[in-house]
Amino acid sequence: MNHRKLFVAVAAVAALGVAAGAAVAQTASQKALVDQAKAAGAVGEQADGYLGVRTSVNPETQAAVSATNAGRRQAYARSAADAGTTAEVAGARMFETQLLPRISSGQWYKNAAGQWVQR
């Protein structure tokens, strides 16, 4: 792994901590809605580092997904600025290094080819 990729990976790990802090704006009930939707297969992680809606969800769940993604967007922008890269790269690295390994069996994620895959 070259130094740039290593630095981006380290920045992505740091962004996870920042994303957790940014997601504090997300309420406990919103987090619970997202967790329930992920368990039900309606929501999943995406290769770009954001949550995606697989099937239709109610407005409250959509708002929770939007709140989480807004926090992640801010975290990825900060991480990218620190690493000298783009927010898109930071989000993708976060998915690869932190989000994908945490996806539970039975949950869904959208791979880089744009296909929903069940773990």
Q: Give me the residue label for tokens 């802090």.
A: 21
- % of the chain residues with pLDDT over 70: 79
Q: Over the stretch 11-46, which tens digit does the pLDDT of each residue have?
A: 555 545 544 444 446 889 999 999 999 999 999 999
d(CA 20, CA 16): 6
Query: Are 56 and 37 within 8 A, CB to CB?
Result: no
Helix, strand, or coil here: 117? strand
Q: Over the stretch 75-91, which tens digit does the pLDDT of each residue have?
A: 999 999 999 999 999 99
**pLDDT at residue number 51:** 98
Residue in 104, 37, 84, 98 with CA at minimum distance from that of residue 64: 37
Query: Are 49 and 16 within 8 A, CB to CB?
Result: no
**pLDDT at residue number 33:** 97
Q: Give me the residue label for tokens 């996806």.
A: 103
